């Protein structure tokens, strides 16, 4: 549990106290993003925190989102809309404008809610970046807010991190720090007592508590660092379903598969080598921030040949968003929106082409099952699901092909009857299904959060393997998981001290 989940827990706990609470993170760098009900893109973490607080996510909760495109550039999303691709220097030339945007959003939230829980990013003591800070102590000072330093002990060195951070902060900033909090501890917390006493004695502020590591928490993580915990999982037994997600270098929205990870009888692996997908029951190519670069990576590392061989054997393959685009015939980018390569040959397993353009589609949507496929198992055509879209590239069918889903509504706007009848309209029909039914592509994120669809997929894979995975514990709802997170935090911290720090006592 890092800072994002700590804020999620606090949002839930303040909500349980009867307060109107909202999260805020001025600048987020992450490839996991989400779409607000009115169609704006924000960091996935702030959407999760809003859900824990019992409110709808809004763009004011994360006005600036940075989506890395490589080592030196990021797509910059300001107020939910792409502003362009920038280097670090180019981006920070806009600092005066960004500071105003941040101040306006924070003021709006503070006027609408009883309490706003602000999350920082990385470390507040990066002295080489201090003059550029618009997310850590700058925001705390602008809001005149007390600060809790949160340390992840799971990766070691937490006491050195706390001491080093305090020593590097300017005296005025250091005086704003009200307490420390340690999280992700595994073991006997009494072993930490000498370190806790040292912190309290040296800095004269309390350690609020030690939160234990919470296993198998069905709450989306903020960034791909969390995938390290998934690496090296044991292969599935013959009585289990194994789903291999290709761990692309620029993987995005990998939380699409979080619900599958918690299904009994299912093992989800994030595969970094071809050998890890050899015996899997389903291979998934996930979303990507750099589709062309990640497609080339798959070719260089043998994944492309292995996936084509699977398709020829009629072994199941699913592509989501960027993964769907890779499965098509070509990826065209005439304006160099995503890469400098104008035309890239895809895996040619689906009769679709992708064309990148300057406009990014960000929608929450409702759809219905349009054609039977492995994704829908035995579910009836017409059954409704929900999901969301985040993509620059639009797909188009170049040959007759079935589509797994038909879009009913985007951002609450029902599609017209004439549009719905025109099943060739690319904006109405989503994705494609190969002629042999083994390869399925969809541009929709979040579809596996639909319980019926997820169950149908697992049942179909189980039937194909000749096993039964229907028995087992029920998958916890996200609401139940927010309560589990909140109770764990409350039981292991000085909650009265947190309320005093927040000005509630």
Query: pLDDT by residue (tens digit) across 422-446?
Result: 444 447 899 999 999 999 999 999 9
Which range of 67-71, 321-325, 463-467 scores highest in mean pLDDT? It is: 321-325
Helices (H), 291-416: 291-300, 303-312, 322-326
Mean pLDDT of the chain: 92
Q: What is the pLDDT of residues 211-254, one digit of tens each?
A: 999 988 988 766 555 565 555 566 788 899 999 999 999 999 99
Cα separation, 82 vs 464, whole angstroms? 43
Domain 3-217+479-501 belongs in CATH node 3.40.50.300? yes
Longest dimension (CA), the chain: 72
Beta bridge partners of 414: 409
The answer to whether residues 185 and 213 touch, using CB atoms and an 8 Å cutoff, is: yes
Which of these ranges, 8-22, 383-397, 403-417, 488-502, has the smallest mean pLDDT?
Answer: 403-417
**Which one, of 76, 83, 41, 84, lies nearest residue 59 by Cα?**
41
Q: Which residues are catalytic?
A: 321, 445
Residue 93 is given by DSSP the state T
Q: Report the sign of the C-alpha dihedral through residues 463, 468, 469, 472, in that order.
A: positive
Residue showing tokens 């039937």 = 463
Cα separation, 473 vs 480, whole angstroms? 14
Q: Which two tokens stand for residue 39?
A: 């169609």
DSSP reduced 3-state for 411: coil
**CATH number attached to the domain at 224-465:** 3.40.50.880
Q: Read off the pTM.
A: 0.91
pLDDT band, very low/low/confident/very high, at 418 (cuts 50, 70, 90): low
Q: What is the pLDDT of residues 336-375, one digit of tens each?
A: 888 888 999 999 999 999 999 989 999 999 999 999 998 8
Count of helix runs (H) and strand runs (E) in the chain? 16, 26
Cα separation, 423 vs 427, whole angstroms? 9
Q: What is the pLDDT of residues 105-148, one digit of tens each?
A: 999 999 999 999 999 998 999 888 888 899 999 999 999 999 99
> What is the rounded (10 degree) CA torsion for 147, 148, 153, 154?
-90
Cα separation, 501 vs 13, whole angstroms? 14
Q: Which two tokens stand for residue 438?
A: 């083994």
pLDDT at 266 over 70: yes
* Domain map (residue ranges) of the chain: 3-217+479-501, 224-465
Are both 3-217+479-501 and 224-465 of the same fold? yes
Cα separation, 339 vs 333, whole angstroms? 7
């Amino acid at each position: 549990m890092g800072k994002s989940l700590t804020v999620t827990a606090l949002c839930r706990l303040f909500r349980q106290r009867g307060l109107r609470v909202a999260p805020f993170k001025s600048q987020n760098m992450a490839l996991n993003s989400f779409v607000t009900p009115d169609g704006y893109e924000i960091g996935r973490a702030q959407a999760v925190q809003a859900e824990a607080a019992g409110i709808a996510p809004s763009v004011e909760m994360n006005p600036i989102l940075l989506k890395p495109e490589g080592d030196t550039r990021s797509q910059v999303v300001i107020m939910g809309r792409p502003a362009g691709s920038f280097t670090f220097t180019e981006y920070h030339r806009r600092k005066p404008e960004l500071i105003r945007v941040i101040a306006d959003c924070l003021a709006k939230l503070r006027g609408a809610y009883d309490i706003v829980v602000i999350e920082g990013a990385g470390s507040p003591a990066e002295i080489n970046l201090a003059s550029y800070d618009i997310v850590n102590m700058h925001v705390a000072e602008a809001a005149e807010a007390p600060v809790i330093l949160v340390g992840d002990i799971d990766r070691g060195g937490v006491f050195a991190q706390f001491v080093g951070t305090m020593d590097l902060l300017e005296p005025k900033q250091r005086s704003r720090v009200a307490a420390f909090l340690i999280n992700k501890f595994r073991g006997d917390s009494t072993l930490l007592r000498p370190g806790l006493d040292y912190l309290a004695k040296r800095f004269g502020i309390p350690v609020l508590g030690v939160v234990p590591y919470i296993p198998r928490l069905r709450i989306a993580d903020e960034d791909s660092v969390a995938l390290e915990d998934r690496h090296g999982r044991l292969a599935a037994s013959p009585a289990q379903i194994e789903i291999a997600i290709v761990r692309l270098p620029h993987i995005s929205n990998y939380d699409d598969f979080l619900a599958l990870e918690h299904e009994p009888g299912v093992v989800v692996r994030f595969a970094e080598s071809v050998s890890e997908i050899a015996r899997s029951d389903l291979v998934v190519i996930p979303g990507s921030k750099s589709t062309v670069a990640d497609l080339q990576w798959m070719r260089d590392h043998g994944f492309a040949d292995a996936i084509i061989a699977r398709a020829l054997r009629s072994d199941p393959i699913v592509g989501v968003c960027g993964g769907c685009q890779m499965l098509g015939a070509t990826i065209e980018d005439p304006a160099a929106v995503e890469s400098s390569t104008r035309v890239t040959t895809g895996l040619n397993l689906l009769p679709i082409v992708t064309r990148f353009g300057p406009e990014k589609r960000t929608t929450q949507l409702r759809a219905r099952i349009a054609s039977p496929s492995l994704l829908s198992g035995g579910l009836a055509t017409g059954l409704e699901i929900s999901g969301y879209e985040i993509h620059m590239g639009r797909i188009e069918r170049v040959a007759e092909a079935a589509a797994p889903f038909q879009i009913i509504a985007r951002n609450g706007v029902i599609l017209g009857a004439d549009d719905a009848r025109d099943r060739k309209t690319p904006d109405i029909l989503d994705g494609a299904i190969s002629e042999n039914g083994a390869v399925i592509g969809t541009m929709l994120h979040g579809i596996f959060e639909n319980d019926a669809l997820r169950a149908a997929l697992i049942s179909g894979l189980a039937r194909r393997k000749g096993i039964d995975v229907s028995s087992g514990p029920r998958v916890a709802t996200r609401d139940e998981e927010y309560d589990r997170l909140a109770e764990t935090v409350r039981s292991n911290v000085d909650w009265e001290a947190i309320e005093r720090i927040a000005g509630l006592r």
